């Protein structure tokens, strides 16, 4: 079996496309989980794109051990200098630089002749080599390039010192057989290809990113790039969990070993969904809520007789525990901690605050299921901002405006205010704005039930924007859906405050 390197770009191709500013702590949490999952490379961001990205890459480079930390650049000296600076403290730094190679990109976007593109590509790799040994070159829009020109560019950048060459299907235009053929063409025609690892990077515009990546791997690629849950630009990137499990289920067919810990897949997927606010569709392969559910009578009967009849993956292999313990108000801290660790939450700190929220929930609900615990964990993320939700009351007749009274704790002081609005959620958000003395633009608001039944927890997600560059996601859960909404809004404002005050 040859080693297949797993290159995760959730924090770059994934995050950048969402228009969401994940704070440094959120990015670190994702990076730590990616190391537990066992990815080889973490593309932490595009340092020259913003001070926030610079800071995130710098922090991840300094704190995360056990994976190559990579930063993206254009084939521009200034970008490369910024990237090298951000990666300075990394144990194993990689600069990912590149330029577009398709006719449409060269002519219309870059306005450069092919020879100039080759020159810029070589110069970028040489400049990056002044800082780090490990330089990956991306040939943007490679799938729509002239294969002969692609071969020429790749030979030149490998001669200039590129250790990895990335052949992206930037616009998600390929079909598996065509993409496999292109990778094969590169493997057989680039004379010095044995000196570099060939990497594949697919987008999902036609729903074929996973299939194209598998075709690329079969054709000899040594690294696959993608994101958790397939998040990313437009229709997203290749879902790494899908590629990993496709290989896991038919190892002999691919002859490669990704060397990751598949049991961390569910926890990684949940963390990314929770932090980015991008929900995983219930029918999504591998990580969707229904991926291992059997609804029809015939299927249930089959699975009960022999799991293999309708199930190709044992859910435990992707980290979905069979043992569904139900906690209640009688469960102690130890039981709560034990279950949370089993569910993939590494709890390094003391869980007192969490336990108090758990008891409140258990008192309201009676029984607390795994999904409730996931939701409970999902609303953390803005500690230290000095903003804390206390309580609220709302009056509404349905026919007229609603009135909400909200109490918050702001920097240690308990404060209360009231406001009217078009419905209870609007009134609550307005009361919170009054208390804060500043407001944000609400861009998105969703409310979902965590489990089934009328006593289920409500899980609210808001996306808010402050100024031009700060967009964050806030989450809140409660058995009372108005309270869940208030908690989500307060959570988002706390994150905005954290970003603007650097806390």
Footprint on this chain of ligand KIV (rule: CB under 6 A): 13, 138, 140, 166, 168, 170, 201, 203
169 or 483: CB nearest ligand KIV? 169
- Interface with Zn ion includes 483 (CB under 5 A)? no
Total residue count of the chain as it appears in this document? 503
140 or 433: CB nearest ligand KIV? 140
User: Smallest distance from the beta carbon of 376 to ligand KIV, in angstroms?
Assistant: 35
Q: Report the alpha-carbon angle 428-429-435, nearest 5.
A: 90
8 A C-beta contact, residue 476 and residue 483: yes
79: its two tokens: 């970008």
Select the residue interacting with Zn ion from 8, 13, 79, 136 (CB under 5 A): 13
User: Smallest distance from the beta carbon of 172 to ligand KIV, in angstroms?
Assistant: 9
497 binds, among ligand KIV, Zn ion, none (CB under 5 to 8 A by kind): none
140 binds, among ligand KIV, Zn ion, none (CB under 5 to 8 A by kind): ligand KIV
59 binds, among ligand KIV, Zn ion, none (CB under 5 to 8 A by kind): none
Residue pointed to by tokens 């570099």: 196
138 binds, among Zn ion, ligand KIV, none (CB under 5 to 8 A by kind): ligand KIV
Can you name the residues that pair with 435 across neighbouring β-strands? none
299: its two tokens: 């299927």
211: its two tokens: 């299939």
d(CA 175, CA 298): 35
Residue 192: C-alpha distances to residues 155, 198, 220, 450 (Å): 6, 11, 15, 54
Q: Among candidates 26, 27, 59, which has minimal Cα distance to 380?
A: 26
User: Smallest distance from the beta carbon of 39 to Zn ion, in angstroms?
Assistant: 16
d(CA 492, CA 463): 7
Residue 462: C-alpha distances to residues 223, 380, 381, 436, 492 (Å): 36, 14, 14, 17, 7
166 or 239: CB nearest ligand KIV? 166
User: Smallest distance from the beta carbon of 169 to Zn ion, in angstroms?
Assistant: 9
Distance of CA 395 to the CA centre of its chain: 39
> Which region, judged by CB under 5 A, interacts with Zn ion, from 8-16, 28-36, 205-213, 484-492?
8-16
d(CA 378, CA 271): 8
User: Smallest distance from the beta carbon of 136 to ligand KIV, in angstroms?
Assistant: 9
98 or 424: CB nearest Zn ion? 98
User: Smallest distance from the beta carbon of 143 to ligand KIV, in angstroms?
Assistant: 9
User: Smallest distance from the beta carbon of 41 to Zn ion, in angstroms?
Assistant: 14
Q: Among candidates 335, 228, 202, 367, which has minimal Cα distance to 285?
A: 228
Please give the DSSP secondary-structure letter assigned to residue 26. H
157 or 460: CB nearest ligand KIV? 157
169 or 426: CB nearest ligand KIV? 169
Distance of CA 244 to the CA centre of its chain: 16
56 or 75: CB nearest ligand KIV? 75
User: Smallest distance from the beta carbon of 474 to ligand KIV, in angstroms?
Assistant: 28
29: its two tokens: 């949490």
228 or 486: CB nearest Zn ion? 228
Interface residues with Zn ion (CB under 5 A)?
A: 13
């Amino acid at each position: 079996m040859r080693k297949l390197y797993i290159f995760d770009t959730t924090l770059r191709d994934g995050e950048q496309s969402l228009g969401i500013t994940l704070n440094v702590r959120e990015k670190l949490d994702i990076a730590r989980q990616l190391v537990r999952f066992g990815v080889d490379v973490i593309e932490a961001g595009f340092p020259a794109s913003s001070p926030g990205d610079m800071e995130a890459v710098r922090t991840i480079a300094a704190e995360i051990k056990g994976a190559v930390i990579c930063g993206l650049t254009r084939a521009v000296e200034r970008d490369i200098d910024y990237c090298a600076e951000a990666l300075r403290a990394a144990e194993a730094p990689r600069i990912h630089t590149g330029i577009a190679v398709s006719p449409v990109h060269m002519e219309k976007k870059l306005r450069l002749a092919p020879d100039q593109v080759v020159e810029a590509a070589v110069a970028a790799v040489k400049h990056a080599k002044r800082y780090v040994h490990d330089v990956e070159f991306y040939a943007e829009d490679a799938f729509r390039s002239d294969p002969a020109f692609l071969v020429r560019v790749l030979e030149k950048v490998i001669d200039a010192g590129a250790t990895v060459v990335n052949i992206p299907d930037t616009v998600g235009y390929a079909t598996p057989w065509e993409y496999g053929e292109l990778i094969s063409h590169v493997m057989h025609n680039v004379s010095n290809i044995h000196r570099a690892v060939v990497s594949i990077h697919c987008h999902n515009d036609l729903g074929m990113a996973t299939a194209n990546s598998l075709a690329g791997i079969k054709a000899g690629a040594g690294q696959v790039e993608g994101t958790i849950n397939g998040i990313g630009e437009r229709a997203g990137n290749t879902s790494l969990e899908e590629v990993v499990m496709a290989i896991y289920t038919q190892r002999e067919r691919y002859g490669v070993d990704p060397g990751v810990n598949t049991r961390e897949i569910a926890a990684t997927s949940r963390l990314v969904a929770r932090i980015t606010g991008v929900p995983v569709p219930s029918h999504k392969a591998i990580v969707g809520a229904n991926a291992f559910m059997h609804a029809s009578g015939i299927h249930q009967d089959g699975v009960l007789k022999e799991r293999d009849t309708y199930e190709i993956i044992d859910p435990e292999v992707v980290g979905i525990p069979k043992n569904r313990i139900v906690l209640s108000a009688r469960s102690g801290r130890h039981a709560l901690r034990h279950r949370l660790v089993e569910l993939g939450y590494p709890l390094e700190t003391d869980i007192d605050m969490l336990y108090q929220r758990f008891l409140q929930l258990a008192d309201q609900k009676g029984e607390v299921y795994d999904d409730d615990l996931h939701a409970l964990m999902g609303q953390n993320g803005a500690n230290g901002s000095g903003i804390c939700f206390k309580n609220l009351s709302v009056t509404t007749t349905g026919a007229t405006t609603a009135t909400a009274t909200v109490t918050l704790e702001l920097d240690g002081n308990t404060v209360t205010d009231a406001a009217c609005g078009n419905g209870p959620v609007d009134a609550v958000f307005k009361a919170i704005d009054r208390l804060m003395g500043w407001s944000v633009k609400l861009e998105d608001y969703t409310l979902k039930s965590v489990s089934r039944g009328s006593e289920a927890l409500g899980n609210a997600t808001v996306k808010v924007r402050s100024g031009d560059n700060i967009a964050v996601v806030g989450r809140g859960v409660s058995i009372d859906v108005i309270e869940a909404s208030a908690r989500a809004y307060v959570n988002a404002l706390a994150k905005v405050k954290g970003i603007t005050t650097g806390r």
